[in-house]
Structure 1
Amino acid sequence: MKKILSAAVALATAFVLAGCGGGGGGNASEVNPGGPVKARQISWLLSRPADGAVITVMKQLAGEYATSHPGFSLNLITTPDRPSYIQKYETLAAANKLPELFDTDATPYAQKLAKQGRMLDAGALLKSLGLYDTYRASALDYQRFDDGTLYTIPFEYQMEFFWYNKALFKQAGVTVPTSLDQIPAMCTALRKAGVTPIALDGQDQWPLERYVAYQPFRVAGPGYIQKLKKGDARFSDPAGQKAADWLSAMGSAKCFQSGFSAQGYSDAQNLFTSGKAAMYNIGTWELSSLATTALNPAVRSDVDYFTLPTTADSVTTANESVTSSGIGMAVNAKTFDPLVRDFLKFALTRYPAAYAATGALSPTTNVRTTIPANATPLYKKAVAQANDVGPKLAMPWDTQLDPTTNTRLQQELVLLAQGNTTPGSFTGTMDSAIAQNAPRFFTK
């Protein structure tokens, strides 16, 4: 989920890629190539925790496949640090050296690869394997490009919540907000009670970027960011201006911990789990930390969560919020052959059950998540929540904006939340950034 890339690297690789044209591309729609299955090593360039469930399960399945296909092996090229991964991925893409499988979000950059015929049509592949209808619609929708095409396969399913400490809420005399607009005043009340309102990982930047997406999603729906990133809408439009005003108000109310911009993922989590912060906006990938007996006993009985609040003028509903299926796996069209297809059929058919057995939410609906023995009631509650998801998704903006604009947005958001720039200056700066950068990535 952490996607930070320098503007210089992003722009340079984009120009190199543009110069490549369709060179080295394969047949993106040829999902059932003829010929024998000849075992060899295939590689997967990925950006996932080395000890995470996705890699653990796929290693297991690759080993099982190798027992009946001597000579087969799956080489995992792992770079869990997302900025380094993106640089490696884009460099290999520019040199036409991507391996058989590679991770990518449905970004403007990835869409260029797809349009050049360098990524296999994942929707057509899943249908040819008889697996398409087993996937959650929202898991597939998260992977789609703006035109509805599907070129990546999900391996996860996550929901994002506001986790909160009931005891700290009671101490400050506040209740769960029914509107996003209530949050700045809540922060003021929590501060007066001596409580840090919201724990935030400011170092990685994407957690703060979530907040700028919330108001526009509620008041204008998912279409706003689709238009904004291409310059067909503006930050100074009502939806964007409301986001800027809201974040400025949150900054004035000192919603985030002091020095948040220099504090990382574990710092934010520790602040919440130690009972020093009242709220923490994070996804179900942290269920094992927040909804099991691994959670600090001092706060365990006080922790609960609420979903993204609506607003008085919402065009989206309470069960429509940030629901993701994580970074997807793309299939290199150039190197796709009977072996890659056969292995994917084997692995993707067995993956959901093995993944759900680890206690994770599967991107498919044909398995049930195993609730760990040390789970608190919140774990089961969160898993059940996955069955009540509306059709509109609040897409993370870092997967939508062009890289250069995204980098500028992350910088400006810190200034806005710290009170070092005004909402008007923020929207003006961001409108200028989009006008300058978007035409390099989007064609109208």
Structure 2
Amino acid sequence: MKGTFKKAAALALAAIGMLGAMSTVSAEEEITLNLAHIYVNESDGQAIGFKRALDAYKEAHPNVTVVEDTADNDAYKTKLKTQLAAGSVPDVFCAWGGGFTAPFVDAGIVANLDAYVENGTINMDAMMPGICNNFYYNDSLYGLPLDSFIGVLMCNQELFDTYGVTVPTTMEEMYAAAEVFIENGITPIAMGEKDKWPGLFPFGVIALRYGGVETTTALLNGEGNFDQEFVVQSAQELQKMVELGIFADDSVALTNDEAIEEFKQGRAAMWYSGNWQVGDLSTNSPLAGKLTLVNWPAIDGAAGDQNAFVGGASACLVVSESSEHKDAAVELAAFMSQYFSDYAYEEGAILPTWKYEGEMELQPFQERLLELMNSADGFCLAWDTLLDPEPADVHSTSLQGIYAKQMTADDYISAMVATR
């Protein structure tokens, strides 16, 4: 990595100058801001990036004491909802776009950020185009992006070469490759569905193949019901994959971490998830030098977008409407959003949400991810992110039922239709 010290110094000077100029809080005024977040795994690239960003903020704002309140993802969501219901709202806290944050907006808990865009506290021109699309409610901005991701089909090229199998570009090729791997005792695609959320990724991208980004997004935002043809086709395709053994029979008994280990040790040929662990798999695992990264295969004859991705910006920082230091809280959120984008990107943990102007020399996997992202037909977040909480829970639970062979595609459709 070149230019690290030079970049760090430049960023610190820029932060002091930029944020000092637009700050509405006196540099002499001692204040405390509460920051709630999920970045607790010290070895994770996102957590490392978040800590680097927070350290830079503290250096640039010696008068501000930041008190952190942390928990890992699922525990954090439960804890946050309990806190907010009790009226205990952190000044700045992690949230997610779509249905997760909508109730907080409706309840007036989180701050409308439009005025801060207008006065320059938030510089939208410095962000990636459209990166905040999932954080608008009633045409107003309520969140600032943390991560940006795309769903990537990661293939163990060594296994593909060993068995003379081609990395699939169509679902027909996927089924053909899976047959060869199954015959040789290898799971085609690792899956840790005990955690529920991993199984949402294949369904989400299959829906983009059958329905496309625009149609899928419209459905998730409340237009129509779930008995539309593309949803039925997607559920049937997933059920077919499960029945043919594309995923291991014990996938619902495996956590995501356990599924990753299956993939790392060569007991599974592919793994499909967000790009956040591509860096670690590409550099610090038995798969280093063996990974081929592609989009999910196209479906011949399907009417949707064949090169769309599950992805976009999901996690965000929001600001409490009732914060005693709301201006300073917005500045903290804007600082963390931008610097987390730079630092977590340099750690190989995310794709940037702000325009990256550093001097880091990109690794091959980073170049490949940007190539995939820049060539995409469009993006749509996982369904549980955009849906309201009740249908999101029914969606994830019902899909888990399909993976467990305890529910059919028809059962899934019936359960989802009942949510509207």
TM bucket normalised to smaller: 0.7 to 0.9
Q: Distance in 1 between matches of 2:360 and 2:348?
A: 5
Letter in 1 for 2:210: V
For residue 382 of structure 1, what is the aligned residue in structure 2? 369
Matches within 5 A, 1:36-55: 36=26, 38-51=29-42, 52-55=47-50
In structure 2, how many angstroms separate the alpha carbons of the residues matched to 1:250 and 1:92?
41
Query: In structure 2, what is the equivalent of residue 329 of structure 1?
Result: 317
Matched, 1:362 2:352: yes
The equivalent residue for 2:18 is: none
AA partner of residue 68 (structure 2): L
The one of 246, 270, 281 aligned to 1:279 = 270
Q: Is contact 1:357–1:369 with CA below 8 Å preserved after alignment? A: no
Q: What amino acid maps onto 1:65 in structure 2?
A: A
Q: How far is 1:348 from its partner?
A: 5.3
Q: CA deviation at 1:352?
A: 4.5
Give the share of equivalent positions with the same residue, in percent: 18
- Tell me how far 1:404 sits from its aligned partner: 2.6
Tell me the secondary structure at the aligned position of residue 236 of structure 2: helix
Of 296, 304, 325, 1:315 maps to 304
Task: Provide, for residues 354-406 of structure 1, a one-character-per-residue CA deviation record: whole Å limited to 9, x for no partner.
Answer: 4444345321114247357xx5x33432244444444x312111112232322
Q: What is the rounded CA distance, in whole Å, between the counterparts of 1:281 and 1:309 in structure 2?
A: 11
**Amino acid of the structure 1 residue aligned with 2:135:** Q
* Equivalent of residue 137 in structure 1, options 113, 124, 129: 129
Q: Structure 1 residues 102 and 343, CA, compared in 2 at 3 Å: closer, same or farther? A: closer
**In the aligned structure 2, how far is the partner of 1:348 from the partner of 1:300?**
30
SS at match of 1:300: coil
Cα distance in structure 1, aligned partners of 2:285 and 2:55: 29
Are the counterparts in 2 of residues 359 and 369 from structure 1 also a CA contact under 8 Å?
A: no
| Structure 2 counterparts to residues 28-177 of structure 1, below 5 A | 36=26, 38-51=29-42, 52-67=47-62, 69=63, 72-80=64-72, 82-122=73-113, 124-127=115-118, 128-129=120-121, 131-145=123-137, 147-177=138-168
In structure 2, the partner of 1:256 is 247
When normalised by structure 1's length, the TM-score is: 0.79
Structure 1 residue runs of 5 or longer lacking an equivalent are 1-31, 436-444
Post-superposition offset of 1:95: 2.2
Which amino acid in the other structure matches residue 196 of structure 1? Answer: T
2:360 corresponds to which letter in structure 1? T
Q: Distance in 2 between matches of 1:179 and 1:191?
A: 18
* Equivalent position amino acid for 1:378 in 2: F
Separation in 1, partners of 2:205, 2:348 = 28
Greater mean deviation of Cα atoms: 414-423 or 93-102: 414-423
- Going from structure 1 to structure 2, the CA distance change for 1:175 and 1:234 (only over 3 Å counts) comes to farther
Letter of the 1:106 counterpart: G
How far apart, in 1, do the equivalents of 2:113 and 2:394 lie?
32
Q: What is the aligned partner in structure 1 of residue 288 from structure 2?
A: 300
- Matched residues in 2 for 1:421 and 1:356: separation? 39
What is the CA-CA distance between 1:129 and the residue it aligns to?
Answer: 2.0
Deviation at 1:411, TM superposition (A): 2.4
**SS class of match (1:291):** helix
Q: Is the 8 A contact 1:49 1:55 kept in 2?
A: no
> What is the CA–CA distance in structure 2 between the aligned matches of 1:181 and 1:274, rounded to whole Å?
26
Q: Evaluate the alpha carbon distance shift between residue 291 and residue 301 of structure 1 in structure 2; reply closer, same or farther with a 3 A threshold.
A: closer
User: C-alpha separation between the residues in 1 aligned to 2:338 and 2:387?
Assistant: 33
Count of residues in Structure 1 that have an aligned counterpart in Structure 2? 390
SS in 2 for 1:139: coil
Q: Which has the higher strand share?
A: 2
Q: Deviations over 1:38-80 (max 9, x none)?
A: 321101111223421343123312320343x2xx211111111
Letter in 2 for 1:77: D
For the 8 Å contact 1:198–1:278, the answer to whether it is kept is: yes
The 2-side partners of 1:369 and 1:225 are apart by: 38
State yes or no: 1:399 paired with 2:385.
yes
Q: CA RMSD in A?
A: 2.8
One-letter amino acid of the structure 1 residue matched with residue 108 of structure 2? G
8 Å CA contact 1:160, 1:323 repeated in 2: yes
Q: Structure 2 length as normaliser, TM-score? A: 0.83
